[in-house]
Amino acid sequence: MRAIEERAFKEYGLTAEELMEAAGEAVAVAASVLRRRGSVCFVCGKGNNGGDGLVAARLLASQKIPVDVVLLASPGELSGAAKTAYDRLRKANVTVKSAKSLSQSLGRAHVVVDCILGTGVRGPLTSELAVVIDMVNSVTVPILAVDLPTGVRELGPNEPLGPAIFAYGTVSLGLPKLCLLDERCLDHVGHIVPLPLSFPPALLEDDSIKVNWYNDPELVPMLPARPMISNKGDFGRVGIVAGSPECAGAALLCARAALRTGCGLATIFTTAALNPIYKLGLPEATTVIVPGSADGRLTGESVSGILAAAGNIDAMVLGPGLGTTEAQETLVNQLIAGFTRPMVVDADALTCLSRGNLKTISGRKDIVLTPHPGEMARLTGKPVAPFQPDRIAAAREFARIHGCNLLLKGAGTVLARPDEQVYLNSGGTPVLATAGSGDVLCGIIASFCAQGLTTWKAAMLGARIHLLAGLLESDASPVGALASEIADTIPYAISELQDPRRTVPYDDEDDEAP
């Protein structure tokens, strides 16, 4: 990010003041969304992060929104763009208070904006700053962090985080800061709002930039069109090769999610023994009966029947609840070799591939693998650390070596493709940590593939819709959501992406004017 800023200044004539003004505008918008009434308290440090807050405070004050600005340094310590922001704020007749006023200002705030350090922290914090963090954390109103919550920083593999602000949300300016998705930091980060700044497009499209956020406005145009004059055949057909006597629900969840995502038809390939379960469990899905084992499992004997009936299938899900015996291993290898259209490979199919069969996916850019960390460990033969930089490196290396797309699940999903480009799905919710949630994700991605998206775009969009569905479910309750309920929320998640709702973390009936 620093390198991009330097290039913007040197090669394109962008000034630090212009960049800070754009950042402050983004922060002001985010703060105004959280605020329903009362004042916004900006707690500002002496660096550029503090300058972003000073700009945002000036812009809110110009809209007659009451602001409290607390500067934790003396004005004489400010320099460059931050000093310019301070001077403009004072010319706007906004009072800037000293650190002595912090407790009083926090006490009357309805939103607190953390502009203390941002990315300017290196190593452990001072004891004085730890006291400030405790004071800010004591408030009962939403805290909005700018770039990074104070105290959150890039950590070594075994380094503890230490004191840090617990933000309700974090406005991440420009390109992603990987520590936002470090599992040691997630509880402090809250909702991540990626906001691009006014960098020249050529800088952000440079091939040297290998890691990017999901940017919702960029995802919206990827959504498949829904013409008024159309029929179910226009929206694609998804085939489901999943399920077993113990895990029949996996196939049902895949099909349910695929239909909820908008495909015209979802077909479950099954044995005669399990067919009644699927017909009753999801009457909207169709089934194709193929040979299998005596107890109803899909096996290598099922492959010819599946391929014979898959001529009109546009995308396929392979693996959830399938089983991992030698019979399923044969099925997985032969089906990947025989089905040459987009495929989402998950769960038991990944376990089968991990047994020396990865050559079957080599160079298949129309395939996306969707492992959780445990499955990723089996695929690579080595443990995957929970820390985000290591997750990114592992996903990128796998996609490059095997020439396929890989979606590594977890809080802060990592999507990697063969050319080493990586996209991060910002945020997470424990609502998605439930049985069958991964099956739902498979159905979403396959449905988008069937509707004409490339596997890469389908995975990118699918991961975002999956997260939004989980977040919508968490609005009702953070506990107890079923995977089938997450699937049924998919249409609302798509609408949310198209027209984001403005939500706040509290709902006072008393919304008097400021």
Q: Is residue 512 part of a domain?
A: no
Element (H, E) at 68: strand 67-71
Q: How large is the average pLDDT for residues 119-135?
A: 87
Verify that 276 and 381 share a domain, yes or no.
yes
Sheet holding 422-425, edge to edge: 211-213, 422-425, 413-416, 405-408, 367-369, 343-345, 315-318, 237-241, 265-270, 286-289
The CATH number of the domain holding residue 22 is 3.40.50.10260
Residue 146, domain extent? 2-209
Does residue 513 belong to any structural domain of this protein?
no
In a domain, 97, yes or no: yes
Yes or no: say if 399 and 420 are a contact pair by the CB < 8 Å rule: yes
Residue at 145 is within a domain: yes
- The rounded distance, in Å, linking the Cα atoms of 419 and 238 is 27
Instruction: Assess whether 202 and 238 both reside in one domain.
Output: no
- Give the separation between CA 237 and CA 240, rounded to whole angstroms: 10
* Statement to judge: residues 188 and 286 lie in one domain: no
Distance CA 47, CA 74 (A): 12
Residues 188 and 335 in one domain: no
Q: How far is CA 444 from the centre of its chain?
A: 15
Q: Is 506 domain-assigned?
A: no
Which of 257, 278, 224 lies closest to 448 in space, CA to CA? 224
Question: Which pLDDT band holds residue 364 (cuts at 50, 70, 90)?
Answer: very high
In terms of domains, do 24 and 105 share one? yes
Q: What's the number of domains the chain is made of?
A: 2
Clarify whether residues 180 and 244 are in a common domain: no
- Determine contact, residues 43/102, Cβ cutoff 8 Å: yes
What's the CATH code of the domain at 267? Answer: 3.40.1190.20
Q: What integer is the mean pLDDT of 482-491? A: 98
Q: For helices 455-476 and 490-498, what crossing angle results, to 10°?
A: 100
325 and 456: one domain? yes
The verdict on 284 and 392 lying in the same domain is: yes
Q: Are 488 and 247 in contact (CB under 8 A)?
A: no
In a domain, 406, yes or no: yes
pLDDT at 21: 94
Note whether 283 and 419 are same-domain residues.
yes
pLDDT of 430 > 70? The answer is: yes
Whether residues 183 and 224 share a domain: the answer is no
Residue 163 in domain: yes
Query: Is there a single domain that holds both residue 186 and residue 265?
Result: no
503 lies in a domain? no
Q: Residue 391 belongs to what H/E stretch?
A: helix 388-402
The structure's pTM equals 0.86
Give the per-residue pLDDT at 203. 59
Specify the 3-state DSSP secondary structure of 366: coil
pLDDT digits (tens, 9 = 90+) for 8-33: 656 656 778 988 999 999 999 999 98
Report whether pLDDT(388) > 70.
Answer: no
Give yes or no for a contact between 288 and 309, defined as CB atoms under 8 angstroms apart: yes
Maximum pairwise Cα distance, the chain: 82
pLDDT digits (tens, 9 = 90+) for 43-88: 999 999 999 999 999 999 999 999 999 999 999 999 999 999 999 9
pLDDT of residue 502: 41
d(CA 390, CA 313) in angstroms, rounded, equals: 37
Condensed to tens digits (0 to 9), the pLDDT of residues 289-339 reads 999 999 999 999 999 999 999 999 999 999 999 999 999 999 999 999 999
Residue 385 — pLDDT band, cuts 50, 70, 90? low
pLDDT at position 446: 99
Confidence of residue 491 (pLDDT cuts 50, 70, 90): very high
Kindly state whether residues 151 and 296 are assigned to the same domain: no
Q: How confident is the model at residue 452 (pLDDT cuts 50, 70, 90)?
A: very high
pLDDT > 60? residue 163: yes
For residue 505, give the DSSP letter.
Answer: S
Q: What is the mean pLDDT of the chain?
A: 91
**Residue 208 predicted with pLDDT over 70:** no
